[in-house]
């Protein structure tokens, strides 16, 4: 199978279409975390999807060159266990697979009139999923802002929580170049990610604003509670 180009700008149309679905993004994220791979049953249990649904989405990802499979041998009678991993092409770009995914997502939606809204929805799903799988040690019941700060740390944002204000200061953007080129996509994904994570953590806080590059190495997430409806 032909591998995806390491250059996000030349990513195939098939890969862009494959990653436009939240469930396939979630499958890629699972495989990113499981360096030794996972089978259909394991992926289905992790994401709450039927095995047949998982197989169908894996097939699309494989056709796009993002996923590879191998036989892990049988543990008794029956079919051999098939293990899925990210392809070599999907693992490139300095080991930062999220950078590749963000670049492909930007390519999918940047030209759409609703690019910002679609990107925020995708980020929201990503944030909820990150909490659901326990990324960064996040789990409902604790300090939601602290948990989100840990999530952002794991993603490479070098966040600083301001205890005196409802905000998180991020000293590094792992997608700096892409954010400068497509802020309506990348920054919207980040807003959605934090709001989705907060929601999954049981918090009523949302991202009220994301001040982008207020300094060359600083973006500020401002949090608030939505006004109560009458």
pLDDT in tens, 60-77: 899 888 899 988 766 556
Strand partners, 221: 168, 210
Query: DSSP string spanning 128-174?
Result: HHHHHTTGGG--TTS-HHHHHHHHHHHTT--EEEETTTTEEEES--T
CATH 1.10.10.10 in the chain: give the residue spans. 8-86
So what's the pLDDT on residue 22? Answer: 76
Predicted confidence (pLDDT) per residue in 151-193, tens digit: 898 888 899 987 778 899 999 887 777 788 788 888 898 999 9
Quote the CA–CA distance of 222 and 208 in Å, as a whole number.
6
Inter-axis angle of helices 22-33 and 97-109, nearest 10: 170
**For 8-86, which CATH class?**
mainly alpha
Q: Find the mean pLDDT for residues 109-133.
A: 85
State the burial class of residue 111 (Cβ atoms within 10 Å of its Cβ: 0-12, 13-18, 19+).
Answer: exposed
Measure the CA angle with vertex 82, ends 76 and 88; round to 5°: 145
Provide the CATH number for the domain formed by 110-224 in this structure: 3.30.1380.20
Quote the CA–CA distance of 46 and 218 in Å, as a whole number.
35
pLDDT at 105 over 70: no
So what's the pLDDT on residue 176? Answer: 79
Confidence of residue 1 (pLDDT cuts 50, 70, 90): very low
Whether 149 and 161 have beta carbons less than 8 Å apart is answered as yes
CB atoms within 10 A of CB 145: 21
CATH 3.30.1380.20 in the chain: give the residue spans. 110-224
Whether 196 and 187 have beta carbons less than 8 Å apart is answered as no
What distances in angstroms separate CA 16 from CA 6, 69, 145, one per listed residue? 14, 20, 32
pLDDT at 213 over 50: yes
The secondary structure of residue 210, as a DSSP letter, is E
Whether the predicted model's global pTM rises above the 0.95 cut: no
CB atoms within 10 A of CB 34: 16
Question: Can you tell me whether residue 92 is helix, strand or coil?
Answer: coil
**3 vs 119, higher pLDDT:** 119
Q: What sign does the dihedral 8-11-15-19 (CA atoms) show?
A: positive
- Tell me what the pLDDT averaged over the chain comes to: 80
The secondary structure of residue 8, as a DSSP letter, is G
Look at the chain and count its residues.
230
């Amino acid at each position: 199978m032909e591998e995806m180009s390491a250059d996000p700008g030349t990513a195939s149309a098939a890969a862009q279409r494959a990653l436009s679905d939240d469930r396939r993004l979630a499958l890629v994220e699972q495989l990113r975390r499981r360096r030794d791979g996972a089978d259909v049953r394991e992926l289905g249990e992790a994401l709450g999807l039927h095995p047949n649904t998982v197989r169908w989405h894996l097939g699309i990802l494989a056709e796009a060159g993002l996923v590879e499979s191998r036989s892990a041998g049988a543990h008794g009678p029956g079919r051999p266990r098939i293990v899925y991993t990210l392809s070599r092409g999907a693992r490139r770009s300095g080991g930062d697979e999220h950078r590749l995914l963000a670049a492909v997502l930007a390519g999918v939606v940047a030209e759409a009139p609703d690019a910002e809204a679609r990107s925020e929805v995708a980020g929201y799903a990503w944030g909820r999923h990150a909490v659901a799988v326990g990324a960064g040690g996040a789990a409902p019941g604790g300090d939601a802002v602290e948990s989100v700060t840990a999530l952002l740390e794991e993603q490479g944002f070098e966040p600083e929580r301001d205890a005196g204000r409802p905000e998180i200061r991020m000293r590094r953007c792992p997608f700096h170049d892409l954010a400068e080129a497509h802020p309506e996509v990348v920054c919207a994904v980040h807003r959605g990610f934090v709001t989705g994570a907060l929601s999954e953590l049981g918090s009523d806080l949302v991202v009220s604003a994301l001040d982008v590059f207020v300094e060359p190495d600083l973006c500020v997430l401002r949090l608030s509670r939505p006004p109560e409806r009458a």
